[in-house]
Amino acid sequence: MRALEWRADDAGMPPEIRIRRVYEKPEPADGTRVLVDRLWPRGLRKDAAALDEWAKDVAPSTELREWYGHDPAKFDEFRRRYLDELSRSGQRTALGRLRALASAGAPKPLTLLTATRDVEHSQAAVLAQILRQDVGEPGSDTGDAACWANLVCPECGAIESEGHRPGCSQAADGG
């Protein structure tokens, strides 16, 4: 698995935001371990998960999860729809709790856990991107995640500050 993390260079910097499968053996380097799935992982005992928190309210809706089906070809649209969900009141509150955990734990990492096999195409990857943006990863624009979520192009699913995807009419309009 490719490492999906950002490392702080010193204790004064924000924490790492890591992504791992919940089925992997817990490690001391995980820091704060948070499950970000709505459903409890099959066949996993709660004590074996070694969780600090289960943030099921930040997970995608059942409807979105079932539509997506973990099909990498649908990931861009999944991300767009999920970011829209995260801008809603209940999920925005849950996302705020993740931001607080990331900030409070510095310089200890925050590890987002999911049962999904392909963590790079999961809600954990989307959340990690938002949290990294929030804590000011070098080269990012900081800001409130709910506001940031609204910067996703509704047509192509790209984050507008990263540029639109080829063929997107918004790119031609300069939007």
> 123-156, pLDDT tens digit by residue?
999 999 999 886 544 333 444 444 445 555 555 5
Distances 22 to 38, 43, 50, 51, 158 between C-alpha atoms, Å? 13, 11, 9, 9, 28
Judge contact between 167 and 43, C-beta under 8 A: no
| Percentage of the chain modeled with pLDDT above 90 | 51
**Which residue in this structure is represented by tokens 């409070």?**
104
pLDDT on residue 140:
39
DSSP for 31-89, please give it. -EEEE--SSPPTT--HHHHT-SEE-GGGSPPHHHHHHHTT-GGGHHHHHHHHHHHHTSH
Count Cβ neighbours within 10 Å for each residue of 15-50 and write b for 16 or more, e otherwise: bbbbbbbbeeeeeeebbbbbbbbbeebeeeeeeebe
Enter the pTM of the model: 0.71
Beta-bridge mates of residue 33: 111
pLDDT: which is higher, 22 or 149: 22
DSSP state of 161: G
Type of residue found at 111:
T
pLDDT, tens only, 65-94: 999 999 999 999 999 999 999 988 888 888
Judge contact between 98 and 110, C-beta under 8 A: yes
pLDDT on residue 133:
80
**Residue 168 neighbours by CB under 8 Å, 6+ apart:** 153, 155, 156, 158
**Which residue in this structure is represented by tokens 């490719």?**
2
